[in-house]
Structure formats: C-alpha cells, structure tokens
Amino acid sequence: SRQGRIGEARLAAELASRLRPNDPDVNYLLGRLSLEQSLADAATRHFLKAARLAGEDPARPRAIAALYELGLTLESTARPVA
C-alpha cells in the first residue's frame, strides 16, 4: 500500500538523518514524508532545518524548495513559525 511505502521511506530517511543529521536534503525528504503522513509539526521542523542548513549556497537549491514547502505547510495549518 502507499502508506506502507511511505512508512518504509520514512524509516530509511530517519536512519539517514542519524548518519547525516546536518544534511539539508535528508531533512527536506523528512519534511516531505511528514506531510504525506499529515504530520505538519514534524514537516515544519524538518523544512526549517533544511532551509537553515542549506543557507544561501547556490549549489544547494534545496533551501528554496524547503522554504517554499515550509510556507505551504504553515499556510495550510494557519500557524506562525515559533
């Protein structure tokens, strides 16, 4: 099932996060997977971390994607960033 595959992907991404906690791509992936599982708080945390880690490095366009996803997530939950 789709939810089963998302759960498996999340487990793999969480393992990757333990190995590379400061990788913006891993945090972005965790944010996307969190959204798929309707975990808006977790998605917000991961997108924020991904954007902060990627910074303004032009070789890391993930920062822009993370900020975009963060904005959509916050808009959908109607909550400000703490």
Helix intervals (H) in 23-80: 24-36, 40-54, 62-77
Q: Dihedral of CA 61/73/47/27: which sign? A: negative
pTM: 0.81
pLDDT in tens, 8-20: 999 999 999 999 9
More confident residue, 25 or 55: 25
- Token couple for 17: 């996060």
pLDDT in tens, 34-75: 999 999 999 999 999 998 888 766 667 777 888 888 888 888
Instruction: Tell whether the model's pLDDT for residue 79 goes beyond 70.
Output: no
Cα–Cα distances (Å) from 47 to 2, 38, 51, 68, 75, in that order, read: 22, 14, 6, 9, 14
